[in-house]
Every structure is written in structure tokens, then in C-alpha cells.
Amino acid sequence: MDVKKEVMKVIVSGREVFGPTSSREGLSWGEFVTWTGLNQVEELVSLDSFYNGPIEGLQGVYDTQSDLVGKINDFVHEMVEEKMQHTGLPSEFSLLAILIYPLTDDLEVLEGDFEFIGYDIVHQSAGHSVLVQLGWMAGMAFHSEVNRYGLLESAQSASLLLASIRNSFPEMEMVDGSVAAVWRHRTIGRNTLFTRVKESEAFVVL
């Protein structure tokens, strides 16, 4: 019997920014850094719904066997234009491309418009980052693995940390996470302005 190979999925998600000028329900950036002990983090770009909440309308799912970049670009153009016309967009946000259970440390098809920024550990059903919420409990050994975005540099580090947290807190439901590779769009949402050029019906980023 033939075994059907599972197609990897890429999730595209617009996420809120959390950095030095941000706060969440009274928690300042300085308090977040003190709580986690991650002094090297300059901006948190995670999949945690509390710190980096999803932006409604900027969500999509694509398989890696399709014209991934083309479909993402079409999605971005349509969704961004609709949001600009109706409800608007934050002045700054992160447009992320997320691969759950990455089989490699790189997905070259996303290179170019997107920049790889690290690995998160996400609890998909609860919508929180296990790395952000519980990673600090694993001790200082993993702190050096965290980059300036609050993510891990390698899939191996993420897998080891997830195993450590599960072993330390076996009864805690929120430790049930999955390793996710995260890319961020280099220009969209990064303090840019979107306009449509009527003659070509194409988007440009100023």
C-alpha cells in the first residue's frame, strides 16, 4: 500500500509588535525582560497570542508544494488593501510565515521577501508560545540560545528545550507544544506605507 507523504503547511499571520515601547495589561517591556532574564532580546517576535496577538484578517494557510511565494503575495495584497480600506492596520506589525514541524533548518522558497528569524515552540490550540511562557523555567542553560527576537537559533535547541520543559512539568497541559520555524517579511508592516498603482494594479511599498 502506498503511503501518502504529508505536505508541509506554511501559516501566514499578521502579528502585533511587542518591544521597548510596548506594554501588555500593565506589564511593561522592562518588566518582561526582568521576568524572563533575557536581556539580549531587543524585540519579541513570537507566536504568543498575549504578547504578539494575531491581527484579524491577516491569516492564511498554504502548502509548500504550491506556488508559495506567489500565493502569499496575492494574499498579502488583497488582505492589506481590504484592511486599509475598511478597518485599517497598525502603523507597525510583523507579517510572519510559520512552518510547524520543520523538517530542515531552512526553507529556501521563502528567502527573499522573508527573513528567517528563529524557532518558537507553540501550543497551537491554546495559541500561546511555550517558549515565551515557560522557557525561562528551564534555567540559564538555554538563555544563551535565545536570539534578539526572543526565538531559538536552531530546531535542535527548540526540541531539547521542549523535552526539558515536558520532563520538568509533565502534568502541565500548556507544555504540549510544537516546534515552529518563523520568517518575517522584510518590508511589509515594518514602518512602511502601502499604495496601489492604478496603471499596473500592483502594490508598491514606500
Q: pLDDT for 28-72, tens place per residue?
A: 999 999 988 889 999 999 999 999 999 887 777 776 655 666 666
Q: Which residue has the higher pLDDT, 91 or 161?
A: 161
Q: Is the pLDDT of residue 136 over 60?
A: yes
Lowest mean pLDDT among 16-20, 75-79, 94-98: 75-79
pLDDT given for residue 104 in this prediction: 54
Q: What is the mean pLDDT of residues 86-92?
A: 69
Nearest CA among 183, 124, 118, 107 for reference residue 156: 118
pLDDT given for residue 195 in this prediction: 38
Q: What is the mean pLDDT of residues 175-197?
A: 72
Structural domain tally of the chain? 1
- The answer to whether 76 touches 55, Cβ cutoff 8 Å, is no
* Structural domain contains residue 51: yes
Q: What is the mean pLDDT of residues 200-204?
A: 38
* Structural domain contains residue 101: yes
Task: Please give the share of the chain, as a percent, with pLDDT higher than 90.
Answer: 23
Q: Is the pLDDT of residue 145 over 70?
A: yes
* Structural domain contains residue 32: yes
Q: Is the pLDDT of residue 170 over 50?
A: yes
β-pair partners for 60: 12
**What range defines the domain where residue 49 resides?**
9-205
* Structural domain contains residue 4: no
pTM of the predicted protein model: 0.80
β-pair partners for 23: 28
Q: For the chain, how big is the Rg over CA atoms in Å? A: 18
Grid cell 521577501 is found at: 113
54-82 in b/e form (b: 16+ CB < 10 A) is ebeebebebeeeeebbeebbebbbebbee
With cut-offs at 50, 70 and 90, classify the pLDDT of residue 110.
Answer: low
Task: Please give the share of the chain, as a percent, with pLDDT higher than 70.
Answer: 66
94-109 in b/e form (b: 16+ CB < 10 A) is bbbbbbbebeeeebee
* Structural domain contains residue 2: no
* Structural domain contains residue 81: yes
Query: What is the chain's mean pLDDT, rounded?
Result: 76
* Structural domain contains residue 54: yes
Q: Is the pLDDT of residue 197 over 50?
A: no
Q: What is the mean pLDDT of residues 5-16?
A: 74
* Structural domain contains residue 46: yes
pLDDT given for residue 91 in this prediction: 77
